[in-house]
A and B are shown apart, each in its own frame.
Chain A
């Protein structure tokens, strides 16, 4: 029987897990009464922000809120609790487990040297409001979030891809996106320069001159200079010869001959 690999999360998995093993959790302490963090949470609630959960994890306050209230919450934290800087915001993919993304905002209070993490969850096709009006850095950070996860951000001034090319297909940090790239990624240059119809003509082994066949331990650096399997490459003259039959059939197709396959390509 073929081994089952889940399609909704294609990232590396532990090879061996004890079936009775339960992962320990980090300590989540309650917010101390009357502490600085307590005041922060109270001021949030006074402003009508619904705090679903608040705790201190590894020295940082974590506040869970509703996604609709993200702008209000961040505005409150910035203006009333003096969290003047947003150091980072991004998302975590929980589509496989819950069909949700977790979005986090890391804020910093420079006077008290205190940090808070505001986190919220949205459904897969739900958009989130931009916090660019509150923190300008969201301009870049939300673009990255959109690029990497495909999370739409409403009222963002320039929601375009930032790290990947504009015509890229797919969102690389989703758990469904394989590490070595999907089909679009593999044929990206060919599709762009020659057109999709050239995929068959070029063939997977000539698609990328830098491609290394991980199972070919003998001649991975000698594409175009192939020697018979097992032969010593140094003894064979390295002038460019047509690639031997059996190595790359698509490349060797004789275009003068007529065949059904060729007609399809034309």
Chain B
């Protein structure tokens, strides 16, 4: 069989690389190491300045929303790991919370499960922010930070592994609670880690904070005015970096976030440096939250899953001893739970921004429509306005400081 060579030409969407004017069109990605995954940018350059930027996405599209329509709710939960794979638990949690609100069992989730979930969420926030720092510094050219930050991240991932057995794709949350209690010694390990972490963060901070090169590369680079951030639906640190104080954990509290005491760092610098500062400050806030959770944990009753026999299986001991619990469990596993007819949208604050699940249920065990509101999707969109007028060398910095993850952008 002979291949037709001319048919193997790559598909460039009719971009004309040869221009009559002075601008030059270059292709950035999708395999570029600093493109944070599968981002392809088509940049039009005038000298070294970007005149036009066109983000091209879809290279990691797996049809997660389509899969959601063909899976029962519990079956879909591990798939959410693959959205923002840097902080998988935050996706699991956002999905579980949306389903819980649809079922109306949000208040029935036991307090211990809530504490454990929040611990995992904040630990994931630390993991994600450290990952951001490592890769961002690497993009900008600071190699050693990458190694330091990955070391601390590794310890946090060890904690995740101790809890759920997985390091990256956790699936550590269930609809209605958590599957397991914390293993013995986990709390001690966590508090040891929290005791060491601030010193380590200070180490990176001291290396970068007043570093002349770091400041030159980040200050006044990627200026995102608040109006543009609002127009483009930027959330999370992208929004707070532009001086708008909005954190879903504070404003629309879920779980126990209204009981813990923490601050939301905000800056009106609007540039990459300000965003970098916010990431560092948020790690300190997460440590603060985790410390409070550690003291909250012993005061809770050892109950992990909500009691809602219509939707959620009974604990294993009951399934093994009681006939009716076993029957319920059988039906829930083979057929899946049937939430009431209705629509729900639940926003949560993931490390990247506002992660929300829009679920439309028609009373069937399969979601009729599930839309993942991924923060990175819109942070990729804003690049086409944000990159205009910047220099080619800053493009990498700006992509890094938006902290986009392509599992989430393409879904």
Q: Is A238 an interface residue (CB 8 A)?
A: no
| Contact, CB under 8 Å: A57 / B343 | yes
Which residue of chain A is the closest to B385 with respect to CB atoms? A136
Which secondary structure characterizes the binding site on chain A? loop
Which residue of chain B is the closest to A132 with respect to CB atoms? B231
| Contact, CB under 8 Å: B70 / A23 | no
Q: A26-B340, A163-B61, A164-B58 are in contact. Are A136 and B373 (CB under 8 A)?
A: no
Tally chain B residues at the interface, Cβ within 8 Å: 62
- Return chain A residues, CB-CB under 8 Å to B336: 14
10 closest A-B pairs by beta carbon, nearest first, are: A23-B363, A26-B342, A140-B381, A137-B233, A113-B251, A136-B231, A163-B58, A12-B70, A24-B340, A88-B373
| Contact, CB under 8 Å: A162 / B57 | yes
Which residue of chain A is the closest to B338 with respect to CB atoms? A23
Among B104, B233, B378, the one with the most A-chain Cβ atoms within 10 Å of its Cβ is B233
Interface residues of B in 1-41 (CB under 8 A from A): 1, 3-4, 7-8, 11, 13
Interface residues of A in 141-164 (CB under 8 A from B): 141, 144, 148, 160-164
Q: Is A75 an interface residue (CB 8 A)?
A: no
Which of B69, B381, B410 is in CB contact (< 8 Å) with A137?
B381
Q: A115-B345, A135-B231, A135-B233 are in contact. Are A162 and B371 (CB under 8 A)?
A: no
Interface residues of A in 12-66 (CB under 8 A from B): 12-16, 23-26, 28, 57-58, 60, 62
B44 to chain A, nearest CB (A): 14
Q: List 24 A-B contacts (CB under 8 A).
A: A11-B366, A14-B338, A14-B364, A14-B365, A15-B334, A23-B363, A25-B341, A25-B363, A26-B341, A58-B343, A87-B373, A117-B345, A137-B233, A140-B377, A140-B380, A140-B381, A141-B233, A141-B378, A144-B377, A165-B58, A172-B66, A175-B69, A179-B63, A194-B7
Q: Quick check: which of A120-128, A195-203, A241-249 contacts chain B, the rest being far away? A: A195-203
Q: Is A72 an interface residue (CB 8 A)?
A: no
Which residue of chain B is the closest to A113 with respect to CB atoms? B251
- Return chain B residues, CB-CB under 8 Å to A71: none
A196 to chain B, nearest CB (A): 11
Which residue of chain A is the closest to B354 with respect to CB atoms? A87
A16 vs B331: C-alpha distance in the bound complex, in angstroms?
10
Q: Is A86 an interface residue (CB 8 A)?
A: yes
> How would residues 55 to 66 of chain B score, 1 for a CB under 8 Å from any chain A CB and 0 otherwise?
001100101011
- Return chain A residues, CB-CB under 8 Å to B338: 14, 23
| Contact, CB under 8 Å: B244 / A23 | no
Interface residues of B in 221-270 (CB under 8 A from A): 228, 230-233, 235, 244, 246, 251-252
Q: How large is the interface on A (under 10, 10 to 19, 20 to 34, 35 or more residues)?
A: 35 or more
**A→B interface (CB under 8 Å):** 11-16, 23-26, 28, 57-58, 60, 62, 84-88, 90, 92-93, 104, 106, 110, 113, 115, 117, 135-137, 139-141, 144, 148, 160-167, 172-173, 175, 177, 179, 192-195, 198, 201-202
A11 vs B365: C-alpha distance in the bound complex, in angstroms?
12
| Contact, CB under 8 Å: A198 / B1 | yes
Q: Is B160 an interface residue (CB 8 A)?
A: no
| Contact, CB under 8 Å: B364 / A13 | yes
Q: A106-B345, A167-B11 are in contact. Are A23 and B335 (CB under 8 A)?
A: no
A107 vs B4: C-alpha distance in the bound complex, in angstroms?
50
- Return chain B residues, CB-CB under 8 Å to A163: 57-58, 61, 410-411
Which residue of chain A is the closest to B104 with respect to CB atoms? A26
A110 vs B335: C-alpha distance in the bound complex, in angstroms?
40
Which residue of chain A is the closest to B336 with respect to CB atoms? A14
Q: A11-B366, A135-B233, A192-B7 are in contact. Are A90 and B63 (CB under 8 A)?
A: no
Beyond A26-B340, A58-B101, 12 additional contacts (C-beta under 8 Å) are A14-B335, A23-B341, A115-B347, A140-B377, A162-B58, A164-B58, A164-B61, A165-B11, A173-B65, A177-B66, A179-B69, A179-B70
| Contact, CB under 8 Å: B63 / A172 | yes
